[in-house]
Amino acid sequence: MKRVNSLLVLLGSTLLAIAAPELDHYSVLNFGAVTDGKTDDTAAFQKALDAASQAGGGVVYAPRGNYFFAGHLDVPDDVTLQGVWESVPSHNGLRDHDGAKPTADGTTFLVTENEGNEDGTAFITLHNNSTLKGAVLYYPRQNPDGEPKPYPWAIAMRGKNPAVLAVELLNPYNGIDASHNERHLIRDVQGQPLRRGIFVDSIYDIGRIEDVHFNPWWSVKPALFHWQEENGEAFIFGRSDWQYVFNTFCYGYHVGYKFIKTATGVCNGNFLGIGADDCNTAVLVENSAPFGLLISNGEFTSFHGPDPTMVRVGAENSGSVRFVNCAFWGPCDQIAIIAGQGTVGFGDCTFVQWDGSKEGRYAIQAGSGTVLVNGCEFQEDKPQIELGKAVRRAVISNNIFTGRARISNHSKHAVSIANNVGDQ
């Protein structure tokens, strides 16, 4: 009898464990949401989110359907807003803006508030331990073949430990504002943000961005895509204390990865396996922290725009930027243009193409600061490195050149050029 009772207690505990999570789930359909893509669901969603918050937290579930929003949502502490997707979908070439409905599979949010007002409230704001997961954000009033209409950020991440998981940012003007928070997590996010993809700033405890790919899935029609190539910035980093970025990619932007100085400071961090394809400038460093931007296993191409360049380091930079085991190709004008008083290093990198305009440009043009180029391979028989008069220190060593070594040194300061090997 004792064994039977024990089994019954165990079975009851198991059933309770299985059923208990449902007590923390709130379907937006039970709060009046409609999946027709026309009825404003803002109030219904917010009621469900507030109910979960008042209960101490939980999951607000949005089943498959198209949800229309004339307003914005605030996801309270400890609440998750979740759609059906467990991994981010791909809706390349979704629909036109002429009233055709977006795809009905999955959970799709149709965002319309603040059209033309970039400074308005974000569509979704996350707070402490709150999460957005498994949804598609779609702006049905954007024109796929024209200059895009400004909108505020699709998502704003605030507080401690906000997360965006398995979300498709199909065509927002501005994607994710990941500033003024601690330990943000952005993972498994894809789409085509048109003006800005992710903005990071005022982060004093480690932020994480993983598996984020921005591709022109929504539209590559000439007018819109040309605008994006002239204005778009995929990843923008202001002040962040040891940012972690892993397996990220962007295609067809004016700048792929941009590092700036804001009112709160500059960025340092670990950037592993990042890529930028067909960006006018793959990496732009206006300023960085002395602790370093450590960029490893990156892949970069540039070949469009008035002066396609892989890496630009600005005159205000005073920090350290290191590229290790990175590859650079595409018929760009130059691999890197370096200014500022900081340190820029390339180690074990591969340079495949440069001087696409056939003007005799050097792959790396350093005007000032400290320059390190070690163990790299230059695969074209063209000028490799130019050191300007203001270069304060440089070590150019152990590189392999196609053709003869062509290093132009105008610096009067401490420069070491040694052990480089060419074909001639």
The pLDDT of 332-345, averaged and rounded, is: 97
Between the two ends of the chain, the Cα-to-Cα distance in Å is: 91
| Nearest Cα to Cα of residue 62 among 82, 44, 76 | 82
The pLDDT of 151-174, averaged and rounded, is: 98
- Within 206-330, residue ranges assigned H as helices are 222-231
Query: What is the biggest distance separating any 2 CA atoms in the chain, rounded to whole angstroms?
Result: 94
CA dihedral 279, 282, 283, 286 (to 10 degrees): -40
CA distance 362 to 277: 21
The pLDDT of 365-391, averaged and rounded, is: 98
| Nearest Cα to Cα of residue 138 among 178, 180, 179, 167 | 167
CA angle 193, 84, 58 (to 5 degrees): 100
Residue 16: pLDDT over 60: no
DSSP letter at 21 equals G
Count the residues in the chain: 424
Rg (CA), the chain: 25
Lowest mean pLDDT among 9-23, 314-328, 404-418: 9-23
Confidence of residue 1 (pLDDT cuts 50, 70, 90): very low
CA distance 283 to 287: 12
The pLDDT of 389-396, averaged and rounded, is: 98
DSSP letter at 225 equals H
Amino acid letter, 259 = F
The yes or no reply on domain 22-200+208-217 and CATH 3.40.50 is: no
182 beta partners: 160
Residue 154: pLDDT over 80: yes
The pLDDT of 177-183, averaged and rounded, is: 97
Beta strand ranges found along 48-184 (DSSP E)? 58-61, 65-69, 73-75, 79-82, 107-111, 124-126, 131-133, 136-138, 153-157, 159-160, 163-169, 174-179, 181-182
Mean of the per-residue pLDDT values for the chain?
Answer: 92
Confidence of residue 22 (pLDDT cuts 50, 70, 90): low
The pLDDT of 12-16, averaged and rounded, is: 40
Residue 19: pLDDT over 60: no
CA distance 312 to 362: 14
**409 vs 17, more confident:** 409
Q: What pLDDT does residue 93 have? A: 52
Residue 8: pLDDT over 70: no
| Nearest Cα to Cα of residue 107 among 81, 72, 127 | 81
Residue 94: pLDDT over 60: no
Q: What is the pLDDT of residues 224-261, one digit of tens each?
A: 999 999 999 999 999 999 999 999 999 999 999 999 99
At 11, which helix (H) or strand (E)? Answer: helix 2-19
Q: Tokens for 146, please give them.
A: 């024209």
| Nearest Cα to Cα of residue 376 among 344, 406, 403, 345 | 345
Confidence of residue 90 (pLDDT cuts 50, 70, 90): confident
The pLDDT of 192-221, averaged and rounded, is: 97
CA distance 178 to 158: 7
Residue 417: pLDDT over 80: yes
| Nearest Cα to Cα of residue 209 among 256, 259, 129, 273 | 273
The pLDDT of 117-123, averaged and rounded, is: 97
pLDDT above 90: percentage of residues in the chain: 88
Q: What pLDDT does residue 102 have? A: 53
Residue 54: pLDDT over 90: yes
Q: What pLDDT does residue 104 have? A: 52
Residue 5: pLDDT over 80: no
Confidence of residue 299 (pLDDT cuts 50, 70, 90): very high
Confidence of residue 3 (pLDDT cuts 50, 70, 90): very low
What phi, psi does 227 have (nearest 5°)? -60, -45
Model pTM score: 0.93
Spatial CB neighbours of 285, under 8 Å, sequence gap ≥ 6: 259, 293, 311, 312, 313, 314, 317, 319, 321
**24 vs 92, more confident:** 24
Cα–chain center distance at 63: 28
The pLDDT of 118-125, averaged and rounded, is: 97
Residue 317: pLDDT over 90: yes
CA distance 307 to 259: 19
Confidence of residue 6 (pLDDT cuts 50, 70, 90): very low
- Contact indicator for 49, 83 with CB cutoff of 8 Å: no
pLDDT above 70: percentage of residues in the chain: 92
- Contact indicator for 361, 337 with CB cutoff of 8 Å: no
Q: What pLDDT does residue 385 have? A: 98
Confidence of residue 109 (pLDDT cuts 50, 70, 90): very high
What phi, psi does 170 have (nearest 5°)? -60, -50
- Tell me whether residue 306 is exposed, middle or buried, using C-beta atoms within 10 angstroms of its C-beta: 0 to 12, 13 to 18, 19 or more: exposed
CA angle 161, 66, 222 (to 5 degrees): 90
The pLDDT of 23-31, averaged and rounded, is: 94
